Structure 1
Amino acid sequence: MVRELTLIDALELQKTKSHTLVDVRSPKEFEEATIPGSLNIPVFSNEERAEIGTLYKQVGKQEAMDRGLEIFSAKLPAFIAEFRKIDTPITVYCWRGGMRSKTAVTVLELMGIRTNRISGGIHTYRKWVIQRLEEPFKPELIVLNGYTGSGKTKILHKLMEDGYPVIDLEGMAGHRGSIFGQIGVKPNNQKKFEILLAEKLDRYADEPYVFIEGESKRIGQVHMPPLLFEQKEKSPQWIIQLPTKVRVDEIMSEYEPTERPEQFLEAFKLIKKRVHQPIAAEIESDLENGRFAEAVEQLLTNYYDPQYEYSVARFAVTGEHVIQVETVQEAYEECLRRYKELKK
């Protein structure tokens, strides 16, 4: 008999790190959205799933099931072998807890691999995500803000590495938030962004303070949920100020324009009309001729900095909010010092 777990029970087991969740949907479905931390051991490949779906629509359910059984039977040894590599208890799931997860559990049981199944599949997880995003987030947000190139993302990543609570919106979105933000990264869709965000909101629900970056409501292809965005707007802003040269170096290091010169030129053309002439022509010439540091400094001075001044004007910023330092490392240390002061 198949042992079914509720979604909440499965998530609690996963938190112990001694339990493994396995998504048996196709790699494409897994890539689009899954429960964070899950493995993907698909019953069908992307092409096989498409073939079976076409059969179901054009011929009938029984023919699709027969073809599915034929395909799955041929790959059983490899499928079982992947599960044997897992040395913890296992819970599998598919979209709605239907045929794929039921078939997987039945076969695994026959081979002596004890397995559970999430009742309702990832469909129930999607409902949980939506509910979580519509609930108030209890911790106070510490918003890192500042001019483009101030090392905010680097500081957040360093805080995460050192075990402090951080919501990395850009990392979840797969976008750095600027017109060049998609270069060198893989963007996520809204559904995957919301799943990653909901998991963080749940993880940090009992923290007194959580770090977040001062992003706009839209980050690349995705949008922040209204409740979290409103909370961020009302939260204290820590304004990081670094010398322009340091900011240029930070951008050069993070974006590596010398590796993708054509992409940077194409991205600049999207905002060229918003930059005053003849400065726009100078920036374009610098990008075309590999003078990237010069182009970056011009973009900061004539495009990004004025935008920042306009956007930050809506916050009641005083001297106590400003972190004026010479390096990103000093900014990190000051953020950490202030955070520890708040927790006393």
Structure 2
Amino acid sequence: MFQDITIEELLLLQQKNEITLIDVRSPSEFRDATIPGSLNIPVFDDAERAEIGTLYKQVSSQSAKDRGLEVMSAKLPDFVRKFGEIEGGKAVFCWRGGMRSRTTATVLSLMDIQVYRLTGGVRAYRKWVVESLENCHFEPEAIVIQGHTGTGKTAILKRLQEEGYPVMDLEGMANHRGSIFGDIGLHSHNQKTFDALLLQSINKLQNAPYVLIEEESKRIGKVVLPSFLVSKKEQGVVITIDMQMRERVKQIITDYEPLKHKAECLQAFQMMKGRIHIPIAKEIESAMQADEYNTAVQLLLENYYDPRYDHAFQQYKSNDTIGISANDVEEAVSYIKKYLEHRELSHT
């Protein structure tokens, strides 16, 4: 028979890499929010779930159960096979730890495939995340990377993260670049997914002496940063990166790939054009229509993003600010690494 486990027991097994988490809810539920690192092996697809839900509401719970059993019976061999192909320990969960995860765990145990079932399901996990963030005491000092749009701050942090430096990638967790154009080519995460990824990052970095983080507003796309993290950034060391316009334009075109997303770029521009001097706005729009993105991006930087950044920087300016002038991302990474090495020596 299967064994029920709590959130705390599940996370302990996950930390030891002793378990695979499997979400048995429908694909749309899984996309909306899940436990980070989970696989999706749904009991019902979206159409089947909608059909059974309608039967439950409009006919009876027994009719819904009968139809659910009929649907699952037809797909049972393939369903069991998928679980059997996963090596090591397994834990299944659904929304509340109810019918779907219980049925899955029972069927698998009858087929000699042993799994755990998460008590309370995703709802319990979400409650744990919210409570953990509300009571969070994040110890590492923040080292905030800031600079004009296009200085490659995200690319710099990714390079440093690849080399083992403690990095908190807020834009990656939000799946948004933090601007009006920020979700082009991406599927922005909701608050539930962001919070889960943030807490995972916090737990991983809690014992680091510092954390590298990009300067962001309180809101990134669809998500809002918790107040304790905003305060942590405001109290941190600031590294301001200065980079030539040509390199910034190149970085933006590399990141956003406007030729692949022309319609989305034009649509996003409509949201800001009213804040730009009319003749300049017309010039930018004409350049975008003609695929002259080097011109369009430079005009946007000079007439929209840079003035807004300069104003915000004056409000945010820290007493502990380090300036770096770099020709490209590689050089900026090199300078930051030298600063971190110097910092480590001065703290020993």
Aligned residue type for 1:89:
G
1:319 Cα deviation from its structure 2 partner: 8.6
Between the aligned partners of 1:213 and 1:131, the Cα distance in structure 2 is: 25
1:316 positional shift: 3.4
Residue matched to 1:122? 122
Q: Which 10-residue stretch deviates more, 61-70 or 260-269?
A: 260-269
Query: Match of 2:49?
Result: 49
Q: Would you say the 8 A contact 1:26–1:44 is kept in 2? A: yes
After TM superposition, the structure 1 = structure 2 runs for residues 209-228 of structure 1, keeping only pairs within 5 Å, are: 209-228=210-229
Distance 1:187 1:283, change over 3 A: same
Listed as ranges, the gaps of 5+ residues in structure 1 are none
Do the aligned residues in 2 keep the contact of 1:244 with 1:297 (CA within 8 Å)? Answer: yes
Give, in angstroms, the shift of residue 268 of structure 1: 1.2
Is the partner of 2:213 in helix, strand or coil? strand
Task: Confirm or deny that 1:2 pairs with 2:6.
Answer: no
Amino acid at match of 2:89: P
Rounded Cα–Cα distance in structure 1 between residues aligned with 2:319 and 2:195: 33
Secondary structure (helix, strand or coil) at the match of 1:258 reads coil
CA contact (8 A) 1:35 1:125 kept: yes
Matched, 1:246 2:247: yes
Cα displacement (A) at 1:81:
0.5
The CA distance in 2 between the partners of 1:53 and 1:65, in whole Å, is: 10
Q: Which runs of 4+ in 1 moved over 4 A?
A: 317-320
TM-score of the two chains, using structure 2 as the length reference: 0.95
Residues 55 and 187 (structure 1 numbering): CA distance in 2 closer, same or farther, change over 3 Å? same
Amino acid in the other structure paired with 1:174: N
| Alignment correspondent of 1:74 | 74
1:96 match:
96
**What is the 5 A alignment of 1:199-278?**
199-278=200-279
Distance 2:170 2:177 in 1: 9
Mean alpha-carbon deviation: is it higher for 181-190 or for 160-169? 160-169
* Residue matched to 2:28: 28
CA shift, 1:125, in A, is: 0.8
How far apart in 2 are the matches of 1:128 and 1:36? 14
Q: Which amino acid in 2 is paired with 1:121? A: G
Matched residues, percent identical? 49
Q: Tell me the distance in 2 between the aligned counterparts of 1:234 and 1:93.
A: 40
Report the counterpart of residue 342 of structure 1 in structure 2.
Answer: 343
* Cα deviations by residue, 1:44-72 (Å, 9 ceiling, x for unpaired): 11111111111111111111111111111
2-structure distance, mates of 1:67, 1:143? 55
CA distance in 2, matches of 1:115, 1:317: 52
Opposite residue 132 of structure 2, the aligned amino acid is: R
CA distance in 1, matches of 2:57, 2:95: 18
Alpha-carbon RMSD across the aligned residues, in angstroms, is: 1.4
The one-letter code sitting in structure 1 at the alignment partner of 2:117 is R
Gaps of 5+ in 2: none
Structure 1 pair 2–235 and aligned structure 2 pair: CA distance change class (3 A) = same
SS at match of 2:82: helix
| TM-score, normalised via structure 1 length | 0.96
**Given the alignment of the two structures, is residue 197 of structure 1 paired with residue 205 of structure 2, yes or no?**
no
Equivalent residue number for residue 331 of structure 2: 330
Q: After the TM superposition, which residues 138-217 of structure 1 pair with which residues of structure 2 at under 5 Å, given as runs?
A: 138-217=139-218
* Cα offset, 1:317, TM superposition: 4.2
Could you say which residue in structure 1 is the equivalent of 2:106? 106
Tell me, yes or no, if the aligned pair for 2:238 and 2:320 is still in contact at 8 Å.
no
Q: How many residues align?
A: 344
Describe the superposition over 1:175-210 as per-residue Cα deviations: whole angstroms up to 9, x where unpaired.
111111111111111111111111111221121211
- Deviation per residue, 1:263-298 (Å, 9 max, x gap): 222211211111113211111111111111011111
